[in-house]
Amino acid sequence: MTAIGIEAIDIGKHFGSFHALSGVSMKVAPGSVHGLLGENGAGKSTLVKCLLGYYKADTGSFLVDDREATIERPADADALGLGMVYQHFTLVPSMTVAENLVMSRRDVPAAIDWRAEKAALGEFMRGMPFKVPLDAEVGTLAAGERQKTEIVKQLYLQRRFLVLDEPTSVLTPQEATEMLGLVRDLAHSGQLTIVIITHKLKEVAAFVDEVTVLRRGRFAGAGLVKDLGAADLTAMMIGEPHAPANPERLGEPAAEIRLAVRDLRTAADGGRKGLSIAALDVKAGEIVGIAGVSGNGQKDLVEVLGGQRPIEAGEVLVDGTQYDASRAQSQARHVRVLPEEPLRNGCVPPMTVVDNLNLRAFDTANSRLWLDRSAMAARAASMIAAYGIRAPSPIVPIGVLSGGNVQRCVLAREFDGDVRLLVLANPCFGLDVKAVAETRARIMAARNQGTAVLLISEDLDEILELSDRVAVMHDGEIVHQMPAAGADPQEIGRHMLGHH
Amino acid sequence: MIDTVALAMLGGSLRVSTPFLFVSLGECLTEKAGRINLGNEGVLVLGAMVAYATSYETGNPWAGIAAAAIAGLLLGGLHGAICSLTRVNDVAMGIALMLAGTGTAFFFGKPYVQPSAPLLPGIPLGFWSDSPQLRNALNVCPLFFLGLLAAFVMHWGFRSTRMGLRIRIVGDSQDAALALGLPINRTRLFATAAGSALAGIGGAFLSLYYPGSWNEGLSSGQGLMAVALVVFARWNPINCIYASLLFGAAGALGPSLQTVGVTWGYYLFYAAPYVVTLTVLILTARGGTALRGMPGQLSIGR
């Protein structure tokens, strides 16, 4: 197997009146690791989907090993040896690694001789730089192992050009470093060419040879990573010379404990253990970050605090008294929650943007029997302006908005008014660099004014930047707590994996 | 007396379990592909009627079984085809199909309530014994063995054939199926039609072996109980055998006690299979937790 080089020339693609790509070019040298950078919606996915035959480009052409290639269907890309590892894994969780590998082939025989297949797979695995257990069910593998299985699958299919879409978003720092290192070695040995779609500049600096940057569907720059600094890359991505500054942390957390979780347990769910948290405190004016590999109970904790999940034992105290997350109590104690998947967990999709922005307070705004629609509209209008929510109109159903705009709506609603305890799950998910900076500034401002913030995030950098204290979750338990200042990401990563 | 009851229950269990076995295997096949077919109750009744009518007209009970399988194939195919359309709910569609199937069977089955059709012969596995009870209990329908064979073939097929693995992928992860370029709707159509063909054979057993006649009260909800049975069997064809035998034994409890002259609590014992169904559903549905082994794309689980 030898790596192949790809060149995209002047690619354009539109969906209706929306130009997702216009005149984008990218040159990927064989045997290199190429970074494809850009903010959400910059057109990265569209470009690679054109390359892999999922979309047909309107204009432009692709060269594969300097020869023009017609790629109209995924099968065409397959035949050329081009493959992709998706952000959301496409392995079947209830099947074993061996079954997944064999079924990914095009020429599966009608009846499968497992003894012969296993022998062949064992032989193939011996030549692999990393091992995955063939007989394990994919659903039981850790995220890092699954990612490796995806890559092994692509190699099994004899791919010589591989796109990795945000490959480290579900990995611990160790897993990410290991995986990217292995992938880089594969590329530099000349077996494979790699394109990594990412927005993590640290990974770019450490593992990528060359980058192409897109901004709003256009080419924004390219070059060798060794010639470019993080500032240059950020400038290309957001089109402004400077990245927004980090928000300032003012004062120390108060002594007053606002949220206290004691011996909390929830029932097991879907083969996973429930929560088992001995003690977790958040003080007034403090941000406590919860780090952990996703699926280790973070979602359950948010659901408990948001009233979506019953507790089996233990207690949740807000301001020293029992808190049951009912509507009356959340209003009385000023507790707000930004859940995961906010459209599903924090909105009523068919109701309008105005209605959804008023969900927290519509029933307390006045004491009449009917709602004050004009006050609701005015309140919504001020939130839409303050948070830059892009909606065709305030009275469209919130379900039609993009993910980033739904996130803005829920943020606007949950930050509104007097907030004493704020629970945030991945608050910057799906936002662009500027909105991320604004949101982080708002979180910090709330903290500085004395709000207690529990920040649950898959982005370890975000946790380290914002938190006063970090707690690590593994398998439903808080396994480690430490001050955020001077915390070592490698150590946090070890705890995330359950190695203490 | 205990011996007699046990013997009667053994025989009853082998008899009563067969329709459960076929319908649950059919339902298992359909659900593995990520779709639920509540219409198998209707398929069962239609299969019973078609089998009886065909056997009467041709004089050959095996032709009746083939006809019942084809009727199931068509009705299941209809379910599969309609559910392939976007925004069709398979649960609602299944209920409609159940009513359509039983309705059709009653309509065309009226003339066959009176005449008696040739029935399937039993295999006398108790020939070595002098005891008439034992011989009676071990007189087993060939369809029972066909059902066992079907279960083992399905078990092997889900692991070692291209089609079986495709069905599992389609049923478990639509994303993966799309990424592999598998024909999702076609696979589900196949699984639904083939599953209903099995359910149709289960119906043929009712009219051509035990009880061995055609009337409108023939099925007592076996087609619906099979859905609970598949949950109990954790979507595993081999477990379907055990589950069917258990349900069969529960179903045989009432008649067995009657043979030894227990008249007390008669209706209560007849209700045993339903009690088992309820218990199974309650025990497996506890705590709102997702079931292990459940295909990920089932609409009732999403």
Q: What are the residue ranges spanned by the domains of chain B?
A: 2-110+143-301
- Under a CB-based contact definition with an 8 Å cutoff, are residues A432 and A237 in contact? no
Residue A347, Ramachandran bin (φ over 0: left; ψ between -120 and 50: alpha; else beta): beta
Q: Is beta strand A452-456 parallel, antiparallel or unpaired with respect to A469-474?
A: unpaired
Please tell me the distance from the alpha carbon of residue B293 to that of residue B99, in angstroms, as a whole number.
30
Mutate to test the interface with B, among A78, A103, A107 (most CBs of B within 10 A): A103
Q: What is the DSSP letter of B291?
A: P
Q: How far apart are CA A423 and CA A414, in angstroms?
A: 9
Task: State the pairing for strand pair A313-318/A257-265.
Answer: antiparallel
Pairing between β-strand A257-265 and β-strand A276-283 as defined by DSSP bridges? antiparallel
Q: Where do the domains of chain A lie?
A: 6-238, 257-496
Query: What CATH number was assigned to the domain covering residues A257-496?
Result: 3.40.50.300
Encode A340-356: b = buried (16+ Cβ within 10 Å), e = exposed. bebbebbbeeeebbbbb
A6-238, CATH topology level:
Rossmann fold (3.40.50)
Bridge partners, residue A287, by sequence: A453
pLDDT digits (tens, 9 = 90+) for A336-364: 999 988 888 899 999 999 999 999 988 88
Task: Identify whether the C-beta of residue A166 lies closer than 8 Å to the C-beta of residue A89.
Answer: no
Instruction: Round to whole Å and give the CA distance between A412 and A357.
Output: 8
Longest dimension (CA), chain A: 76
Contacts of A103 in chain B (CB under 8 A): 162, 165-166, 169, 180
The chain A residues in contact with chain B (CB within 8 A) are: 74-75, 86, 88, 90-95, 99, 102-104, 108-114, 267-271
Contact B289 A112 (CB under 8 A): no
**CB distance A454 to A424 below 8 Å:** yes
Q: pLDDT tens-digit profile of A399-415?
A: 888 778 898 999 999 99
Residue B168 to residue A112, Cβ atoms within 8 A: no
Contact B33, B171 (CB under 8 A): yes
DSSP SS3 for B133: helix
Q: How do A82-85 and A33-37 pair as beta strands?
A: unpaired
By the CB < 8 Å criterion, does B173 face chain A?
yes
CB A428 within 8 A of CB A439: yes
- The question of ipTM being above 0.90 is answered as no
Q: What top-level class would CATH report for the domain B2-110+143-301? A: mainly alpha
Residue type, B106: F
DSSP result, A152-202: HHHHHTT-SEEEEESTTTTS-HHHHHHHHHHHHHHHHTTS-EEEEEE--HH
Q: Do A96 and A135 form a contact (C-beta atoms < 8 A)? A: yes
Cα maximum dimension of chain B: 63
Residue type, B35: R
The answer to whether B223 and B23 have CB atoms below 8 angstroms apart is yes
Determine whether the interchain pair B179/A90 forms a contact, defined as Cβ–Cβ distance below 8 Å: yes
Please list the pLDDT of chain B residue by residue as tens digits (302 residues): 677 788 888 888 888 899 999 999 999 999 999 999 999 999 999 999 999 999 999 999 999 999 999 999 999 999 999 999 988 899 999 999 999 999 999 999 999 999 999 999 988 888 888 888 788 888 889 999 999 999 999 999 999 999 999 999 999 988 888 878 889 999 999 999 999 999 999 999 999 998 899 998 898 888 998 888 998 898 999 999 999 998 888 888 888 887 777 777 777 888 888 888 888 778 776 644 456 678 888 876 65
Q: Which of B159, B289, B295 sits opposite A269 (nearest CB)?
A: B289
